[in-house]
Structure 1
Amino acid sequence: MDKPCFKPVLLGITLLAIACMTVIALVLTVAKHQTVDLPYSTQYGIVFDAGSTHTSLFLYQWPGNKENNTGIVSQKLTCDVKGDGISSYVTNPPDAGQSLKECIDVAMTAIPPSQLSTTPVYLGATAGMRLLMLENQTQAERILAEVTKAIQSYPFDFRGARILTGMEEGAYGWITINYLLEGFIKYAFDGRWVHPKSGKIQGALDLGGASAQISFTPKDPVKDPGSAFDLQLYGYRYQLYTYSYLCYGKDQALKMLQAYLHMAARPSSVVQHPCYHRNYSLTLKLGELYNSPCVVKPLPFDPALKVTFLGTGDSQLCLSLMKSIINLTDCSFYPDCGFNGVYQPPVNGEFFAFSAYFYTFNFLGLAPRTPLPRVLATIESYCNKTWDTLVLEYPKVKETYLRDYCGSAHYIMTILLKGFKFNDSWDQIYFYKQAEDNDIGWTLGYMLNLTNLISSDRPLVITGVQHSQWAAEVFFIVFVLFLSILILIVLCAWGPKH
């Protein structure tokens, strides 16, 4: 006799299975499946600017994610190293390394101890060391070895000490300015970082102690490959014209003027100096005057002999003599030349002038921007003052600064107007030290470029499963349960009779 299929049991099983399917599908459907971003962790980087007259430490920080492969970097602190630039330690290289330690200690207190070992440190030396490398390569390399030893004694991720090329120095200064002024990327109202379609790209004018740099994006492609610098930031490519005039920084230019005046006055040991104020005198040994590869020693040469410069306070003659230390005539790329026969396309757009440009013009009350006639009148008035008057007016300013502001100002006007050809675009130059609370210089641009080598540390943690995955799971479970019920019904209805 066949056993009947118990329909009430079958019905109960079916209803239970359907209920289970419904609950499981509902739970999977309403469950929140999302990606959770781990919090940003701040990263740090240190750059030493080892210039010709002094060294500064810059500590930068940025969130542990990147925008289009470039970090969002800001300046956290700066520290000026005591003493002169590292190239001045030619007779005692170990002291160059020791001089950095006080500022390194300051930086260490600003970085969490757990991140010291992952904080990259770079030292970039500029024109002072470029000159020393030409004059005494062995001592230059010893100085770099000593600063390397000093930094490596700290628990940082030291990435090296090197001498930057003039082109690098100019290009990184240009990057710094345009980054700070949001020419590359800006924070939009909706909370996104976007590339400004109409963002202005500024030019950069940097005047150091031993070199001068000009960098900008010309209207037309750069004709001389030797002065073209191609780079990519935030997913966009730029072609930059940049050139560094070694020996034409402020200090070296004034030294070349001294040497020019001395050679013209030989054999006299008393030389009239129109850029020095009346009643001012300066006595130097020839060894001090001709201690740079930027000036040619007279023959015969006795470094112990002395020369005395007497100030005459002749502003117009001072300006005229500045043209004698730069070459404004030879140009194989005519008319596209700066000075000394160097190719330069016509200047384009607005420019930020910093370093010695700013310090000189700020002292004279001409920063950030002043009409050209007033600039010329202010320099003329300052140069024609007597030394006694200046000392009374500025009792707290160092003697060397007061003495050199006249010559520096006339040198600046010479290279800007006659050299770089800003005659018709003077009002496009702005003289600044900082932008958005960050110092303008090459170090921030250097750090920005190097963040392309620092990986993002913002990993994604997946909670639950992704949308496509849980949709497939719902379908699979429902299908299996449905197939199981169908098989059960078939077996019950068509199974063998006993």
Structure 2
Amino acid sequence: MGLPRKTCVLTALLGAAATSGLAALVLMLVQATDVLLPAGTKFGLVFDAGSSHTSLFVYRWPADKENDTGVVSQALACQAEGPGISSYASDPARAGESLQGCLEEALALIPAAQHRETPVFLGATAGMRLLSVKNSSQAELIFAAVARALGRAPVDFRGAELLAGQDEGALGWITINYVLRLLVTFSFSGAWVRPADASLVGALDMGGASTQISFVPGGPILDKSTQATLRLYGSDYSVYTHSYLCFGRDQMLNRLLAALAQAFSNFYYTFHFLNLTSGQTLRTANATVWEFCQRPWELVVASYPGQERWLRDYCASGLYILTLLLEGYGFDQDTWSGIEFRQQAGGTDVGWTLGYMLNLTSMIPAEAPARWRAASHGVWTAGVVFVALTLVTILGTAAAQLLWPQA
């Protein structure tokens, strides 16, 4: 005598459920392929402790890097309250306190889970170089206060140090060539490559207490003390860089005040005020500076209301910049057109801090992209169908069991 009808139906339904479930499992496991998920994002913080103020820059880059160097972008810029840290010689603790506002703003931007692995560095430039020469013990107390303040933060604090003038110049050179995409660029093939016809540019920088010049010369650098050797994105660079201490904005201001009762500001701000940042000729620049210097003071004040604090500086500043570029660095009528005055490039502040972070990323281990098992759309659709069939047959089996009349 054969099996009861109920048993046959239930057996058939369970067999169908098992078959469709096994088919779905095979499709998911056998037909799946490995895919790489996008790499995570790393962050880094750099404090630029200049002579007149301190700025914090937050940078980010994909964790997998490119040729051992991160593809870095600027995520935040914050100017700390108060003057530069060298101004706190009589009260060093306030130097550390002055950084807290910007630090808190940066940490609010970075995911909390990444705070402990985020590198933080403070580099002090010419203002602290001068203080170190005048009173090394005061400079040490300021660095100690800054280190205590940043060391208490939930970050990977890398130190607070005096940045050598040559390092400041070389790192500034890295920054400007990077933001102009002369070190690495994204190709049409979807890869980061070094531009084949890239023409590297030199960098001129003027801070409050020093001015720097950096470039790749056409021949060997004879004075090795002016040479910086860099490796970025798999390529080596030999850069000439020199820093002139006491030839920055504020130091020259002190000398001019003593001699002429005048003042001045740095490259970009002065020439921006004089509307000379759009590629004007040397003749135009020279005529514009002299025309401004010859205006009556009453006319100048009336023409620029609310700017009295800075107006007295622009004449002397413009004349100093022309003298420095022409007499100091040797630019002339033919080479003047090669100078560009910029505060930003590619949405990034121009300075040494980005160069520092790019250089630092070469020492931070890269993270491999995460792997995941994935299937094509067709295979995924078939798998969904089989899973649905499995659920339907299981539900049918349960319904048959409940509703079938008992023997």
TM-score category of the 2 structures, normalised to the smaller one: 0.7 to 0.9
> Secondary structure of the equivalent of 1:418?
helix
Specify the alignment match of 1:338 in structure 2.
Answer: none
Offset at residue 190 of structure 1 (A): 1.4
2:354 is matched with which residue: 420, 432, 444?
444
Point out where structure 2 has 5 or more consecutive residues left out of the alignment.
1-25, 375-407
Contact 2:301-2:308 at 8 Å conserved across structures: no
1:366 is matched with which residue: 276, 279, 285?
276
What is the one-letter code of the residue matched to 1:410?
A: L
* Length, aligned pairs only: 347
Distance (whole Å) between structure 2 residues aligned to residue 238 and residue 34 of structure 1: 41
- The structure with the largest helix share of the pair is 2
Once the two structures are superposed, the pairs formed by residues 266-345 of structure 1 within 5 Å of their partners are 273=261, 275=262
Offset at residue 368 of structure 1 (A): 3.4
What is the one-letter code of the residue matched to 1:377?
A: A
Specify the alignment match of 2:288 in structure 1.
Answer: 378
Specify the alignment match of 1:453 in structure 2.
Answer: 363
Offset at residue 398 of structure 1 (A): 4.5
Deviations 1:311-348 (A, max 9, x none): xxxxxxx9xxxxxxxxxxxxxxxxxxxxxxxxxxxxxx
Distance (whole Å) between structure 2 residues aligned to residue 387 and residue 120 of structure 1: 49
Range 60-69 or range 35-44, more displaced: 35-44
Once the two structures are superposed, the pairs formed by residues 399-478 of structure 1 within 5 Å of their partners are 399=309, 401-423=310-332, 424-459=334-369, 461=371
What is the one-letter code of the residue matched to 2:324?
A: I
Deviations 1:249-269 (A, max 9, x none): 01111212333x2xxxxxxxx
Point out where structure 1 has 5 or more consecutive residues left out of the alignment.
1-26, 262-271, 277-317, 319-354, 465-498
Offset at residue 31 of structure 1 (A): 4.4
Offset at residue 241 of structure 1 (A): 0.6
- Matching of residue 129 in structure 1 with residue 153 in structure 2: no
Range 380-389 or range 407-416, more displaced: 380-389
Distance (whole Å) between structure 1 residues aligned to residue 39 and residue 278 of structure 2: 37
Distance (whole Å) between structure 2 residues aligned to residue 398 and residue 199 of structure 1: 43
Deviations 1:150-173 (A, max 9, x none): 112221111100010000000000
Contact 1:185-1:194 at 8 Å conserved across structures: yes
With over 3 angstroms needed to count, the CA separation of the structure-2 counterparts of 1:462 and 1:107, relative to structure 1, is closer
> Secondary structure of the equivalent of 1:450?
helix
TM-score for both structures, normalised by structure 2? 0.82
Offset at residue 395 of structure 1 (A): 1.6
Distance (whole Å) between structure 1 residues aligned to residue 153 and residue 308 of structure 2: 35
> Secondary structure of the equivalent of 2:158?
strand
Once the two structures are superposed, the pairs formed by residues 176-255 of structure 1 within 5 Å of their partners are 176-255=175-254
Specify the alignment match of 2:64 in structure 1.
Answer: 65
Please, what is the CA RMSD of the aligned residues? Answer: 2.0
What is the one-letter code of the residue matched to 1:414?
A: T
Once the two structures are superposed, the pairs formed by residues 128-147 of structure 1 within 5 Å of their partners are 128-147=127-146
Contact 1:35-1:460 at 8 Å conserved across structures: no
By relative contact order (CA 8 Å, sep 6+), the higher-ranking structure is: 2
Offset at residue 357 of structure 1 (A): 0.7
> Secondary structure of the equivalent of 1:453?
coil
Range 61-70 or range 382-391, more displaced: 382-391
Deviations 1:170-194 (A, max 9, x none): 0000000111111111000111111
Contact 1:51-1:128 at 8 Å conserved across structures: yes
Sequence identity (%): 49
> Secondary structure of the equivalent of 2:167?
helix
Offset at residue 244 of structure 1 (A): 0.2
Distance (whole Å) between structure 2 residues aligned to residue 368 and residue 164 of structure 1: 32
With over 3 angstroms needed to count, the CA separation of the structure-2 counterparts of 1:462 and 1:83, relative to structure 1, is closer
Contact 1:39-1:458 at 8 Å conserved across structures: no
Distance (whole Å) between structure 1 residues aligned to residue 52 and residue 121 of structure 2: 19
With over 3 angstroms needed to count, the CA separation of the structure-2 counterparts of 1:144 and 1:398, relative to structure 1, is farther
